[in-house]
Structure 1
Amino acid sequence: MDKLKILFNTVRYVTFLQACHRVRYEAVKRFKKSIRQVQCLEINHNFKWILPEQYDIGPDTPLAFEYNIHELLQNKFTFLNKLTFNFPGKIDWYSNPFKYRLWNFKLNYFDYLQDLVMGYAAYSDLRYIDKGYELIESWINANIGKYNTNTWDPYVVSKRVINLILFYNATKDNCRYSKKLLDAINTQAHFLHKNMELYLGANHVIMNAKALIFCGVFLNNKRFLKTGLKVINKEFNNQVMTDGGHYELSPSYHIEVLMHYIESALVLQRNSHDGAGKEVLEKAKIMFEYLYNIITPYGEIPLVNDSTQDYPVPVNEILECGAVLFNDARYKKFGNPTLGFYTIKLLGAESINAYKCMEALPGHKTGAVLNKDTGYYILRDSTPSGEIYMLFDCGNIGPDSNPGHSHADSMNLLLSVGLNNLFVDSGTYTYKICSKRNYFRSTRAHNTIEIDGISSSQIWSAFRVGKRARSKVVNNTLEDTYSYISAEHDGYSRVLGKSRITHRRSILYIKGESLVI
């Protein structure tokens, strides 16, 4: 009975359209056996993206490869914090050696193709290009007509099809399987167009939309392009809040969604869709501003909800992109002295000169700001002991329709003084269904109050939430000499179900003197 109640309190927030799309998705998973192959009859031969020769790198350039490209030559793959597996012979694209579905997803993303291209650009070694095509041919032979829930997961298809397009574009002069590869790209694009993750929404459906934009531009397919643009513009209004934060309330997924918008804008602008590209890029401005406003004085993201420092890229590299794209020198304060790996791949050598000529501006202003929609209250001050940074989470845990990356962290607090972190968030340990996943999402793992050993929101499975806390700000006062905020949540009145229990937390900061919690 308890399990049924938790399930009910989980699905009650799902919208009718989500439910319809979920039923269709489950039917596809259970009954689909084959993939309809679609020949590629046309591509955009003038497709433009940054090419290896535009990286302006060499063997002595310091590069932080995401993958060990030398190990890739030996069919050795490392994902997810050093989980390494060496295929002794032919690659099994369905394998899951660590019983961790995300490991198999990453194998099928083909993100490592970008590192192989970068390796070729740095070392002029064709082995990296040949290896890329060897892996692609192996995947096509094993998968192109055969449905599998992992290899044909729509998010996986979205990641892979973009990587295949960019790899082909960067290496077409050395392409050995042109027709085969282009047919595979077109087949995956048609599958994705019919199987977008509308049952999930959130960052997944924006990823789907970006992939369709790339496919539409590359394949000269107006239908793909129209759908991708429609979804990416609509979802911005649905998912990006008026304070600029992404509604999943995770800085890591905020960065991921921001990447989707700038990459979509750039592929449009570089390929004669200037108006559409400009419209998409403009949307990214408010997201850059929000990201800049919540990072710590030393250029790290707060690890609230499902977040980790270097996923999907380090925050300093995405801010470098913002500095170049919007000519905003504030962002350079947190960038690398020289451009990072992601920025070079995205913007090429021309961006290096623009970045070098930019003089970094000082960092954040002191004071307190409440991001009203995301609910993150940020306090900053400068003291002889170093810069004070405090984040107070006084918002709801995430979007009702998909709180999969949410933690039971209502009224959570992060605090640092200089380089000393006094109160920290544990961030994300794993997405695997296990006791550690449960713990890292629980109230106990955060700097807030737990009652009777129970979390303030019903966290269960890897990405599910049943009854959930509702938070509100009771008082927010900002004066020259002090700031005061008081907020509360009703989670325990919901999950305990006995009597009304409200957890209220108040924080008083007297400038230059004391902090009272």
Structure 2
Amino acid sequence: MRIVGKCFRYFNTVKYLKTSQIFYQVHHKRKRKKDISQYSVSEITFSPYQLFIETLDGEPDYADRFELEQLVNGTLKLLHESTHFPYGTWNLDEKSHLWNFNLHYLEYCVALVSKYRSTGETKYKETIENILKDWLDYGLHASDAVNAYTISLRLVNCLIVLSVLYTEMDKALKKRLILSLYSQYRWLLCNTEKHLLGNHYLENLKAIVIGSLYFGEENIYHKYVNMFLQELNEQILPDGFHFELSVMYHKIILEDLIRVGLVLKETERTEYRQVVQYIEKMCSALKNMEDGISRTPLFNDSGDNIAKSSSSLLGTSEILFGLKMK
């Protein structure tokens, strides 16, 4: 009976998959992934565009979730669990994969750099540099570090940090970080999550589009920005809501679009207007969904205090793109 039940579950999963997903599921299982070190280079073109956004990255509630004063003193809080920062290992077996994934997103470095930017206190900058040095020494050796979704988030988070610290960071550390980011970006190009699609695949495409502009790879940009726009056409419904029907993921993806829109605006790309149109639709849907509510509605795969607040997303969209929601 267990075998029959398992087969029934598999059938009910597969019947909802696209043909391409089934193909890439098989391909993903059989494919031997190259080590990131095989994409290493000694020099790379890099343009330090501005990806830090004060109204998003400086949001007080965003910083509070990481308890930055504890982090400066060596204690990391992720997903409501605190522990000594795992310098030298970058893996905690007693924690879940999700916790370890969050460890490798390096998102707390964005909160630290925002705090440094607003206060000028060097302890926050020093903590970032200690974390990045240790991650470059040991991080990629941890099993949960080399994952397409994890890399997609980490790549952009590190570029946000570099937006603030580009002229202040230790030169040797900065070069190591940029070269590592390029290697991860090239690995991601060969390992996008076509077997999963949905928000994971969109995160991959977002990171590649942004990375291609930072690293000056025009051929990659033109290919992937079109793929990104095609995916937006499929994933953003006519009413502006994300097709996974999770308010949390809707807000995460809206932030992604804001980041992409900002870089496209800086680089004067023709695709900028198309992205802003999707941002406007998503802002309208979010305004209607959360109007008068002080937290993320908890239905489908949603949690509170994971995505940025609706007020910061809507406010940022108005400041950067002139989108004022009535």
| TM-score by shorter chain over 0.5 | yes
2:283 to 274, 284, 288: 288
**Structure 2: runs of 5 or more not aligned:** none
CA distance in 1 between counterparts of 2:139 and 2:34 reads: 11
State how 1:183-198 maps to structure 2 within 5 Å.
Answer: 183-198=179-194
1:213 to 202, 209, 214: 209
Structure number with the bigger relative contact order (C-alpha 8 A, sep ≥ 6) is 2
How big is the shift at 1:312? 0.8
CA distance in 1 between counterparts of 2:177 and 2:28 reads: 27
2:150 to 146, 153, 156: 156
Q: Is the 8 A contact 1:40 1:186 kept in 2?
A: no
Asked if residue 316 in structure 1 is aligned to residue 311 in structure 2, the reply is: yes
CA distance in 1 between counterparts of 2:42 and 2:222 reads: 19
How big is the shift at 1:329? 4.7
1:37 to 21, 36, 39: 39
Q: Is the 8 A contact 1:193 1:224 kept in 2?
A: no
1:275-295 deviation line (CA, Å, top 9, x unaligned): 222221112111111222222
CA change 1:45–1:328 in 2 (3 A) is closer
Calculate the TM-score normalised by the size of structure 2: 0.88
How big is the shift at 1:154? 0.4
Q: Is the 8 A contact 1:213 1:228 kept in 2?
A: yes
CA change 1:97–1:45 in 2 (3 A) is same
Paired residue secondary structure (1:150): helix
State the match for 2:67 in structure 1: 68
How big is the shift at 1:321? 2.2
How big is the shift at 1:175? 2.0
How big is the shift at 1:93? 1.4
CA change 1:321–1:122 in 2 (3 A) is closer
Asked if residue 175 in structure 1 is aligned to residue 169 in structure 2, the reply is: yes
Q: Is the 8 A contact 2:59 2:312 kept in 1?
A: no
Which has the larger displacement, 291-300 or 160-169? Answer: 291-300
State the match for 2:83 in structure 1: 85
- Percent identity for Structure 1 against Structure 2: 22
How big is the shift at 1:38? 2.0
1:461-491 deviation line (CA, Å, top 9, x unaligned): xxxxxxxxxxxxxxxxxxxxxxxxxxxxxxx
Paired residue secondary structure (1:174): coil
Query: Which residue type is aligned with residue 83 of structure 1?
Result: E
Q: Is the 8 A contact 2:248 2:301 kept in 1?
A: yes
Query: Which residue type is aligned with residue 13 of structure 2?
Result: T
State the match for 2:124 in structure 1: 128
Asked if residue 26 in structure 1 is aligned to residue 26 in structure 2, the reply is: no
Q: Is the 8 A contact 1:295 1:301 kept in 2?
A: yes
Calculate the TM-score normalised by the size of structure 1: 0.57
CA distance in 2 between counterparts of 1:289 and 1:257 reads: 14
CA distance in 2 between counterparts of 1:285 and 1:236 reads: 13
Q: Is the 8 A contact 1:209 1:228 kept in 2?
A: yes
Asked if residue 165 in structure 1 is aligned to residue 159 in structure 2, the reply is: yes
How big is the shift at 1:7? 1.3
1:98-135 deviation line (CA, Å, top 9, x unaligned): 3x211000000000111111121122122222221221
Paired residue secondary structure (2:288): helix
1:231 to 215, 223, 227: 227
Which has the larger displacement, 40-49 or 219-228? Answer: 40-49
Q: Is the 8 A contact 2:89 2:139 kept in 1?
A: no
How big is the shift at 1:325? 4.2
Query: Which residue type is aligned with residue 70 of structure 1?
Result: E
CA change 1:17–1:298 in 2 (3 A) is closer
Give the alignment's Cα RMSD to 1 decimal. 2.5
**Structure 1: runs of 5 or more not aligned:** 332-517
CA distance in 1 between counterparts of 2:245 and 2:207 reads: 23
1:353-396 deviation line (CA, Å, top 9, x unaligned): xxxxxxxxxxxxxxxxxxxxxxxxxxxxxxxxxxxxxxxxxxxx
CA distance in 2 between counterparts of 1:46 and 1:169 reads: 6
Give 1 or 2 for the bigger CA radius of gyration: 1
CA change 1:46–1:305 in 2 (3 A) is closer
State the match for 1:48 in structure 2: 50
State how 1:498-513 maps to structure 2 within 5 Å.
Answer: none
How big is the shift at 1:242? 1.3
Decide which structure has greater helix share. Answer: 2
CA distance in 1 between counterparts of 2:312 and 2:178 reads: 32
CA change 1:128–1:227 in 2 (3 A) is farther
Q: Is the 8 A contact 2:105 2:154 kept in 1?
A: yes
Q: Is the 8 A contact 1:250 1:307 kept in 2?
A: yes
2:19 to 16, 19, 32: 16
State the match for 2:106 in structure 1: 110
State how 1:452-467 maps to structure 2 within 5 Å.
Answer: none
Paired residue secondary structure (1:67): coil
CA distance in 2 between counterparts of 1:46 and 1:137 reads: 20
